[in-house]
C-alpha cells in the first residue's frame, strides 16, 4: 500500500497544494514554519479522520477560510482507494471512500494503517496517563473494531455516570438503582477492554524491547547498558471492577465523578529500573519513543497483514546523527513500505536517503 497523490485546500497554512509521491521514500525539507509537518498531518488525517497535532477539527481550517478539504489517492492491493476528508465551519466532518460517505467514522479506522514518529511524542513520557492510554487504545483499535466499539461505549457510559453523580450532589439525592444500571454497563465494556489490553501488552512488550535494542545498537543481550521496561498499570490487578465501583461509591459521590475504572489505566516506562521521565537523557527518551512507535508499526503490520505508511517528523530533533542513521538503516529493508520524512536540512536528509539505494523524491517547501 502507498499514497500516490494528495490534494490539500485550506488546511492549516496551505491555500492549495497537490503533490505526487514516490512509492518508497518522500522527503519534505525547508525552514521551520513552511508547512512540512502540516503535510504529514494531512496524510495522518486521511488514515485517522483527525489531525495528529490538533484533534479539534475546526482549528485545522486555514485562518480566514470556512472549510478545508484533504483528498488522497492510494494504491492498495492492486486497486485505487480515493479518500476525501472535509469540514465546513458549523457542520459535521465528512469522510468519503471512493465517493461514498461513511455513516460512522469508526468504519474507516484500520483501512489505511499509518504510524507517525514526531518530537511531540515526548508528551507520552512527560504528560499524564491519558496520552499513554490513548496510545495503547489506538494500536488495539486499529486491528480490532470490536475493541473500538467497546471503548466508545465505555466512554459514553462513563460520561453519563459522571453526570448522574453531579445531579445527585446538586439535588441532594441518591438513587442506587440508577447508579447500578450504569455500573453494570461499565463492568460489561470495561471487562472486555481489560482482557484485550492484557493480551496486547503481553505481545507488545517483547516487540518493543527488541526494537529498542536495535536502535541503541546493543548486540549482546547479556551486556546491555540500557535495560528498558514497559508495564501495564491498572486498578483491576487486585480487585474486580465490580468490587472497585462498590468500594469507591461514597468517594465518587463526594468527588462527583468516577474515580476508578479502565479510564485510569496507565503504562509505566522505565530504564535501568527507574522512571525514564526522571533519569533518561534526551537521547535515551527519544530512542525509547522511537522504539515504541516502531513496535506499534510491527504490531499493526502483523495483525492487519498490511504494511503501514511511516511518517518521520523532524527526526533529527534531540537525536544525534548516529542514531538517525541507525533508524534509517532499520527502515531500509523489505519489511517497511512507504516512508515520509521532514527535516530542515535538505543536504543532510538526502545524504542519508541516498544510502538506502531506494527511489525517493525531495520536496522543498518555501
**Domains of the chain, first to last:** 1-113+314-366 (3.40.50.300), 127-305 (1.20.1050.90)
pLDDT of residue 214: 81
Return the exposure string of 149-176: e unless at least 16 CB atoms fall within 10 Å of the residue's CB, then b: ebbebbeebbeebbebbeebeeeeeeee
Q: What is the pLDDT of residue 226?
A: 80
Look at residue 326 in the predicted model and tell me its pLDDT: 65
pLDDT in tens, 241-272: 999 999 999 999 999 999 999 999 999 999 99
pLDDT digits (tens, 9 = 90+) for 181-207: 999 999 999 999 999 999 999 999 999
State the chain's mean pLDDT as an integer.
90
- Say yes or no to pLDDT of 223 above 70: no
Q: What is the pLDDT of residue 215?
A: 79
Instruction: Look at residue 60 and tell me whether its pLDDT is greater than 90.
Output: yes
pLDDT of residue 224 exceeding 70, the answer is no
Q: What is the pLDDT of residue 322?
A: 66
How confident is the model over 96-106, as a mean pLDDT?
94
∠ CA 159-269-120, rounded to 5°: 70
Q: Which of 205-209, 294-298, 312-316 has the lowest mean pLDDT?
A: 312-316
Residue 143 pLDDT: 87
The more confidently predicted of residues 213 and 188 is: 188
Q: Is the pLDDT of residue 126 over 80?
A: yes
CA gap 129, 124 in Å, rounded: 8
What does the alpha-carbon distance between residue 224 and residue 356 come to, in Å, rounded to a whole number? 28
pLDDT of residue 320: 63
CA angle 356, 360, 362 (to 5 degrees): 120
Q: What is the pTM of this model?
A: 0.89
Question: Tell me, what's the pLDDT at 219?
Answer: 41
Q: Average pLDDT in the 62-90 region?
A: 95
Residue 70 pLDDT exceeds 50 = yes
| 193 vs 346, residue with greater confidence | 193
Amino acid at each position: 500500500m502507498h499514497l500516490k497523490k494528495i490534494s490539500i485546500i485550506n488546511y492549516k497554512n496551505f491555500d492549495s497544494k497537490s503533490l505526487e509521491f514516490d512509492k518508497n521514500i518522500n522527503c519534505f525539507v525547508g525552514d521551520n514554519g513552511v508547512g512540512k509537518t502540516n503535510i504529514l498531518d494531512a496524510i495522518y488525517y486521511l488514515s485517522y479522520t483527525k489531525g495528529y497535532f490538533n484533534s479539534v477539527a475546526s482549528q485545522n481550517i486555514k485562518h480566514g477560510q470556512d472549510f478545508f478539504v484533504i483528498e488522497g489517492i492510494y494504491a492498495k492491493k492492486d486497486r485505487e482507494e480515493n479518500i476525501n476528508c472535509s469540514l465546513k465551519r458549523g457542520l459535521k466532518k465528512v469522510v468519503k471512500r471512493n465517493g461514498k460517505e461513511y455513516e460512522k467514522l469508526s468504519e474507516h479506522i484500520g483501512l489505511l494503517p499509518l504510524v507517525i514518529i514526531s518530537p511531540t511524542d515526548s508528551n507520552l513520557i512527560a504528560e499524564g496517563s491519558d496520552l499513554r492510554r490513548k496510545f495503547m487504545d489506538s494500536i488495539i483499535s486499529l486491528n480490532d473494531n470490536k475493541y473500538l466499539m467497546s471503548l466508545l461505549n465505555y466512554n459514553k457510559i462513563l460520561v453519563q455516570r459522571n453526570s448522574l453523580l453531579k445531579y445527585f450532589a446538586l439535588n441532594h439525592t441518591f438513587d442506587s438503582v440508577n447508579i447500578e444500571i450504569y455500573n453494570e454497563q461499565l463492568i460489561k465494556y470495561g471487562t472486555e477492554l481489560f482482557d484485550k489490553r492484557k493480551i496486547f501488552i503481553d505481545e507488545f512488550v517483547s516487540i518493543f524491547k527488541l526494537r529498542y535494542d536495535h536502535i541503541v545498537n546493543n548486540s549482546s543481550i547479556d551486556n546491555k547498558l540500557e535495560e528498558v521496561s514497559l508495564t501495564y498499570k491498572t486498578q483491576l490487578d487486585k480487585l474486580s471492577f465490580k468490587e472497585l465501583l462498590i468500594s469507591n461509591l461514597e468517594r465518587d459521590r463526594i468527588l462527583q465523578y468516577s474515580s476508578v475504572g479502565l479510564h485510569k489505566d496507565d503504562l509505566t516506562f522505565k530504564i535501568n529500573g527507574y522512571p525514564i521521565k526522571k533519569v533518561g537523557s534526551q537521547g535515551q527518551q527519544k530512542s525509547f519513543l522511537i522504539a515504541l512507535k516502531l513496535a506499534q508499526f510491527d504490531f499493526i503490520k502483523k495483525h492487519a497483514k498490511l504494511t503501514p505508511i511511516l511518517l518521520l517528523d523532524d527526526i533529527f530533533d534531540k537525536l544525534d546523527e548516529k542514531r538517525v542513521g541507525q533508524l534509517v538503516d532499520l527502515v531500509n529493508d523489505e519489511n517497511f513500505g512507504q516512508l515520509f520524512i521532514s527535516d530542515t536540512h535538505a543536504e543532510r536528509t538526502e545524504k542519508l536517503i541516498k544510502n538506502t539505494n531506494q527511489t525517493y523524491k525531495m520536496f522543498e517547501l518555501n
